[in-house]
Amino acid sequence: MKKEKFSVTGMTCSACSAAVERAVGQVDGVSSVNVNLLTNSMVVEYDESLLEPSGIISAVSDAGYAAALGSGSEAQAEARTVSHIDEEISAMKQRVIVSLAFMAALMYVAMGPMLGLPLPSFLLGLENAATMALLQFLLTLPVLYVNRQYFQVGFKTLWRKSPNMDSLIAIGSGAAVVYGVFALFRITYGLGHDQLDLVARYSHDLYFESATMILALITLGKFLEARSKGRTSDAIARLMDLAPKTATVLRNNQEVEIPVAELVEGDIIVIRPGQSIPVDGVIVEGSSAIDESAITGESIPVAKAVGDEVISATINKAGSFRFRATRIGDDTTLAQIIRLVEEAGASKAPIAKLADRISGIFVPVVIAIALAAFGIWLLLGHPFEFALTTAVAVLVISCPCALGLATPVAIMVGTGQGALHGILIKSAEALETAHSVDTVVLDKTGTVTEGKPQVTDVLPGPGLTAEELLQIGASLEKPSEHPLAEAIVARAAQDGLKLTEAAEFLAVPGKGIQARLGQQAYLAGNLAFMREHQIKLGEFEAHADDLAEQGKTPMYFADTQQVLGVIAVADLVKPTSKKAIAELKHLGVDVVMLTGDNRRTAEAIRRELEIGTVIAEVLPEEKEQEIRSLQEQGKTVAMVGDGINDAPALARADVGIAIGAGTDVALESADIVLVKNDLRDVATAIKLSKATLRNIKQNLFWAFFYNSLGIPLAAGLFFPLLGWRLSPMYAAAAMSLSSIFVVSNALRLRRFTPNR
């Protein structure tokens, strides 16, 4: 199966995107299709042995739209998306200016006599009615021309039996213009046959101003929507701006500045103070402090030296260095972040698919209601003009433009805000599901804890200082490859202790080590190892038990006669873990810790962090089974992990959340990535999901019920009793208002901030 991205033009509402999805989905070989109305793009997964991209483009064309295959890198695709939105805003602005200018002139001419405004004498009086009507028609033509897209797409989709919002606009405004032209002929006929009553009647029923106002107001609404699209893509644009456009590389021992797009893996890149790092790589010469806040959220610059990794789009604060490019183009960290944000915006949440289905049914139903209203009012004996304007008002107020915007705008803003806070949401479905999570399962190592053992306690025996014990311990452990040994050696290096070279080193698996420092033999290991060598433990056994109860691993150090002291090592709990778990519990979420570590250590961490449930001594393959078991109990589960052994559990969970420092496998298996390695962002992601879903529901309520309630008023249901009617002009204004309200409401999500 192959996945391709296409650009689609001509779509204006969710009925359009639904029609494109339906047309492409029916093509043999297509397994999935996802259309994004906001970015005018489509992602299709298909069997390349059965289908060519040209077949997909043909299907879109047959549905009444145009498509083209995307090309180039992901970053280039995103640049085109942002550029396309800018072009759309510019074109829409020109249409708005022309539409409003000619509408204002037309309204002045049409409404002038009623408002007592000064007009030339050749436009006044019944004898000049034909001149007045012709001038109004001429003022309408430029508005029709600049907004011809509504008619081109609307009638084409209507002909193909998949009407959309443009169909409603085209029928409504087209009917008003056609009737106006008919009235113009009747006025001319009346003047030629001296039937002034006929002239008087039709000179008040031209409706050119109604058609013009419908098109002008709807175009104004669409211009505001286009501007909002630009604002919702700010997150992607800002991310793209982080990366430099050029890089200084070494070619034939000469420094050469080239475009970043021309970099190849293995290039040696020169970075000076204040410069942004163009791609991912490893430092080969020099050192510096690098500001990684844009990517990881770490506020303090991170010291980097030879052998350390550097990340694209981070900023070199001090010092110069050279690094070897290891990941370029679409493989860089920044490019992957941009891709994740775009994919999330392009994907559809289940609630969005519901809106598409509603819109697909809504448009043909509205056309049927408009035709019914037209026929019923004629049958009831009302004038043709009354019936026509009623039908036009129904068509215009029912345009489901707001319905099509309700979900995608909120999702794009929501995922963009997530990215700005270091939370990468890979799909709209994950964003929606997160709001209903009631159980969060946390991996221990690297998620709740730092993931790296550290020395926590140094308890020397009589006659020794803590420094002396640590020096002996590190000297003994230096030849060992055990993680606990590495922690002791690292602590000694941190304290600046000078180590003695060990001789006759012997490691006893599962127990400890023995070695000689100078002329003295030493032992280091667990309780069983000490007892095996008949070492007197004294009060240290009790101290070691206390340390073990706290979730630490005590290591005894002894000479051939007695214990010299105990050094405890532990994987420390992250400083933010306790607050993160408290936030989750405050949200009403059950917290479960899942670990392969021993039960005593897990229980100590459970007590420290006040976690409700701990499942310990779990094998990697059993983690997925534990998630499945919770789901079978009716729980909606989010799994948070960082390792390869977490990948199956992340994939099984309703929402998989990967800590950003985790393995590539874990990141690929997850639905949400926490870039900042901060467990508090799990609660933030759930809060963002709740805020986004609340916003979508508000939008859908306004878009659907507002328009639905306007239909009876437009159809004249209240006219017999209350005399209420809705003219096409007011219907156009109301429809545009609903779209503007929906977009404005979605943009409120930009104010979302995690409460810390």
Q: Greater confidence, 90 or 638?
A: 638
Residues near 311 by beta carbon (within 8 Å), at least 6 away in sequence: 277, 280, 292, 295, 296, 333, 334
In order of 452, 548, 638, 663, 714, the CA distances from 487 in angstroms are 8, 17, 32, 22, 76
Instruction: Provide the pLDDT confidence category of residue 122 given band limits of 50, 70 and 90.
Output: confident
- Inter-residue contact 470 to 491 (CB < 8 Å): yes
Q: Which CATH architecture has domain 245-331?
A: Distorted Sandwich (2.70)
Q: Greater confidence, 742 or 255?
A: 255
The answer on pLDDT for 567 being more than 90 is: yes
pLDDT of residue 459: 92
Tokens 């508000």 belong to residue: 698
Tokens standing for 706? 């507002």
Catalytic residue among 166, 443, 597, 671: 443
CATH code 3.40.1110.10 for 450-572? yes
Instruction: Provide the pLDDT confidence category of residue 522 given band limits of 50, 70 and 90.
Output: very high
Mean pLDDT across 548-577: 86
Helix (H, G, I), strand (E, B) or coil at 248: strand
Considering the chain, what is the average pLDDT of its residues?
80
pLDDT of residue 711: 84
Ranges 332-336, 372-376, 391-395, 717-721, most confident: 372-376
Mean pLDDT across 599-608: 83
The answer on pLDDT for 682 being more than 80 is: yes
Residues near 593 by beta carbon (within 8 Å), at least 6 away in sequence: 441, 442, 443, 444, 448, 602, 605, 606, 609, 611, 613, 614, 615
Poorest-pLDDT segment among 107-111, 379-383, 628-632: 107-111
pLDDT of residue 337: 61
Burial (CB count <10 Å: 0-12, 13-18, 19+), residue 255: exposed
> Does 426-448+574-683 match 245-331 at the fold level?
no
In order of 63, 360, 383, 663, the CA distances from 165 in angstroms are 14, 10, 28, 46
Q: Greater confidence, 235 or 250?
A: 250
pLDDT of residue 375: 93
> What CATH number has the domain spanning 426-448+574-683?
3.40.50.1000
CA atoms within 13 A on the CB side of 185: 5
Sign of CA dihedral 432, 433, 436, 440: negative
Residue 492, amino acid: A
Q: Would you say how long the chain is, in residues?
A: 756
41-65 tens-digit pLDDT: 788 888 888 888 889 998 888 887 8
The answer on pLDDT for 474 being more than 90 is: yes
The answer on pLDDT for 85 being more than 70 is: no
Q: What's the chain's Rg over C-alpha atoms? A: 35
Tokens 């963002």 belong to residue: 688
Q: Count Cβ neighbours within 10 Å for each residue of 551-562 and write b for 16 or more, e otherwise.
A: bbbbbbbbeeee
Burial (CB count <10 Å: 0-12, 13-18, 19+), residue 450: middle
Q: Mark whether 438 is an active-site residue.
A: no
Using CA atoms, how far apart are residues 671 and 95, in angstroms rounded to an integer? 41
Instruction: Provide the pLDDT confidence category of residue 346 given band limits of 50, 70 and 90.
Output: low
Tokens standing for 41? 């793009």
The answer on pLDDT for 394 being more than 80 is: yes
607-642 tens-digit pLDDT: 888 888 888 877 655 778 888 899 899 999 999 987
Domain 2-71 falls in which CATH fold? Answer: Alpha-Beta Plaits (3.30.70)
How much of the chain, in percent, has pLDDT values that exceed 90?
15
Helix (H, G, I), strand (E, B) or coil at 21: helix
Question: Of 442, 375, 466, 467, which Cα lies nearest the Cα of 674?
Answer: 442
Instruction: Provide the pLDDT confidence category of residue 193 given band limits of 50, 70 and 90.
Output: confident
526: left (phi over 0), alpha (psi -120 to 50) or beta: beta
The answer on pLDDT for 559 being more than 60 is: yes
pLDDT of residue 199: 85
127-182 tens-digit pLDDT: 888 888 899 999 999 999 999 888 887 788 778 777 766 777 787 788 778 878 88
pLDDT of residue 638: 92
The answer on pLDDT for 504 being more than 80 is: yes
pTM of this structure? 0.59
Mean pLDDT across 415-429: 81
pLDDT of residue 299: 42
Q: Greater confidence, 468 or 735?
A: 468
703 DSSP assignment? I
Q: Where are the domains of the chain?
A: 2-71, 73-243+335-422+684-756, 245-331, 426-448+574-683, 450-572
Instruction: Provide the pLDDT confidence category of residue 321 given band limits of 50, 70 and 90.
Output: very high
Sign of CA dihedral 171, 173, 176, 182: negative
Q: Can you give the three-state secondary structure of 359-407, one letter per residue? A: HHHHHHHHHHHHHHHHHHHHHCCCCHHHHHHHHHHHHHHCCCHHHHHHH
Instruction: Provide the pLDDT confidence category of residue 647 given band limits of 50, 70 and 90.
Output: low
